[in-house]
Amino acid sequence: MRTIELIVINCSATRVDRDFTERELEVCHRERGFRGTGYHFYIRKNGDIKSCRPLQEAGAHVKGYNAHSIGIYYERGLDERSRPADTRTEW
């Protein structure tokens, strides 16, 4: 087993009203030259957790840190107007 020193979490930066399936994620990564999905886990916006890459295999999610990390990707990140969902402009 690899030595794990870091957990990396990234978001899909997709709108809350749009689905980004695990198949779309895989196609996106293959188009970028990866052998498949670069993350170990994908958390869908409905809460489903999908296993994508075996833990014993290095990921392709953060250059320079893949050998000793686990990559987690979650669906969402943008609001209905394509702005970061955690950014509030009205007070």
Reported as a single tens digit per residue, the pLDDT across 28-86 is 999 999 989 999 999 999 999 999 999 999 999 999 999 999 999 999 888 888 887 76
Task: Return the H-helix or E-strand segment holding 9.
Answer: strand 6-11
Report which of 90, 81, 63, 73 is spatially closest to residue 20, judged by C-alpha positions: 73
Reported as a single tens digit per residue, the pLDDT across 5-28 is 999 999 888 888 889 999 999 999
Structure tokens at 52: 């994508």
